Amino acid sequence: MKKRIMCDVQRIRQAIIEAIPLTTSNHGETPDRQHLYLPPAHVKALRIECNLVIGARGVGKSFWTAALGSREVRASLGTSVHELERTDVRIGFGVTPDIAAFPDGASLSQLMQSGSEPYAIWRAVLARWLTGVVGEDIPKAAWCDSVSWVQENPEPLARLMERANQHFLDDHRLGLIVFDALDRTSSDWRTMDSIVRDLLRVVLWLKSYPCLHAKVFLREDQSARTITDFPDASKLLATKAELTWAPHDLHGLMWQMLCNAPNEHGACMREVYREVVGSLPDEHGSGWRLAEDVKRDGVKQRGLFEALSGLWMGRDRRRGVPYVWSVSHLADGRGRTSPRSFLAAIRAAAEDSLEQYSDHEYALHYESIKRGVQTASEIRVAEMAEDYPWVTPLMHPLRGLTVPCDFDAVQSRWGELSPGGLRSASDLRLPPQHIERGWPGVRDDLERLGIFETMKDGRVNLPDLYRVGFGLGRRGGVKPIT
């Protein structure tokens, strides 16, 4: 009996590793429909009337952009967002370069240096899209030609818009253009503000045409800036949606991926699911979908996770419950856990259990789950270095510091930087937004990013998601990476 259980546990570990990709970042690739999981909070973001979608790193902005750009994936989403079944989509800016559809960052910069306003550039992007829709043409040898045509031909542009709107109306369809990864448009905040603000002005202009729509995905720090200080911007803000993930959404996504693991690995995980839930997931085409109650029922989800991890994060209840612990210890300073961090931690925990605890009765050993948090933190810190290059040099002097601590201790470490430490941070791409206020302003920026959090007694703390990867300590916490 023991041997059979051991075999099952090893199969489960291998199935988890095979089900969850080594990297869950989306670089513009079309999502696998079997992994498609739509949290209720994301439905509004995908609706055609939603113009502005806000989200932190790793919550799905580029994923949903790529999903909307795929006819096959839109068909799958159409069961939840019905208007997508009759919507044609164009990517107006994104992670994957498409110079015929939109100028890249370097081209955008050159156009602006030559005197073109971002407002005209974005309207040229629309014009190229819509001439293709109605079978017409404008100058396209270079982007400067298209921009010049837009600037010099306001009446033909207006007629083009009307014809395109009528085209979709006659076909009983909708046109949607999607913009993502706009932080790649410039390395300077003021320039990027101008680019994003003018894009939103174009989106507002597009609302005059009932069959033409636009959707803009923005980082939180971008949306918090003065990009909507123009007339009638409230019409866009009224449609705003935020990409958030509740704990049950994260567990639901994970089981969606586990049940659709390839070959015998998927069969193994579906059997685990059946043993806990009482029935197999719903078969849908070539894939499997979780029952609706399993997506939201914490009791069933907890039972599923306990089948992988056991009851406790140690030898008894004092150490916490794995179902809760695995999400809460991956939250940022604002209490939000991204699917990318969660999935990375679970995969790493399965790998570690396979290597270190082959005789453990559960697939995920509690110490391996802790090490999974270390892996996820390391990944998150690397991502932060990509998005916010100024963070790493400011966090490096804090290595070895124990938190929570007074901000004076943090500021003292920062003071040990070279005299130009604060100034050098301002020279990096998209530096701290409030750097002009000195270290207190930098502290506020770190809090907005979820790296710092202020406790009730005023001390500074870091959530494990960042504390571990940046090498700070805490009594009784997950060990930092040294």
The predicted-structure confidence for 228-245, as pLDDT tens digits, reads as follows: 888 888 999 999 999 999
Instruction: Please tell me the predicted confidence (pLDDT) of residue 24.
Output: 62
Residue type for position 336: R
Strands 174-179 and 212-218: parallel
Catalogue the long-range contacts made by 292-295 (C-beta closer than 8 Å, 24 or more residues apart).
Answer: 294/252, 294/255, 295/248, 295/249, 295/252
Phi, psi of 241, rounded to the nearest 5 degrees: -130, 150
pLDDT at 181: 94
Specify the pTM.
Answer: 0.90
pLDDT at residue 1, as a whole number? 32
Which of 41, 7, 53 is CA-nearest to residue 181? 53
Q: CB neighbours (10 Å) of residue 445?
A: 22
Q: How far apart are CA 269 and CA 256, in angstroms?
A: 10
Other Cβ atoms within 10 Å of 119 Cβ, number = 18
What is the model's pLDDT at position 477?
Answer: 78
Q: Where are the alpha helices (DSSP H) in 278-387?
A: 292-296, 298-309, 322-328, 339-356, 366-387
Beta strand residue intervals within 118-226, DSSP E? 174-179, 212-218
Q: The dihedral of CA 451, 456, 459, 465: what is its sign?
A: negative
pLDDT value of position 27: 64
477/480 Cα distance (integer angstroms): 9
| Residue 259 identity | C
Render pLDDT for 414-439 as a digit per residue (tens, 0 to 9).
Answer: 988 655 566 666 666 778 888 888 89
Distance from C-alpha of 400 to C-alpha of 65, rounded to nearest angstrom: 40
Distance CA 112, CA 364 (A): 53
Ranges of the chain with pLDDT below 70? 1-7, 24-28, 417-428, 482
Start-to-end CA distance of the chain, whole Å, equals: 42
Percentage of the chain surpassing pLDDT 70? 95
pLDDT at 4 (0 to 100): 36
CA–CA gap between residue 41 and residue 113 (Å, rounded): 40
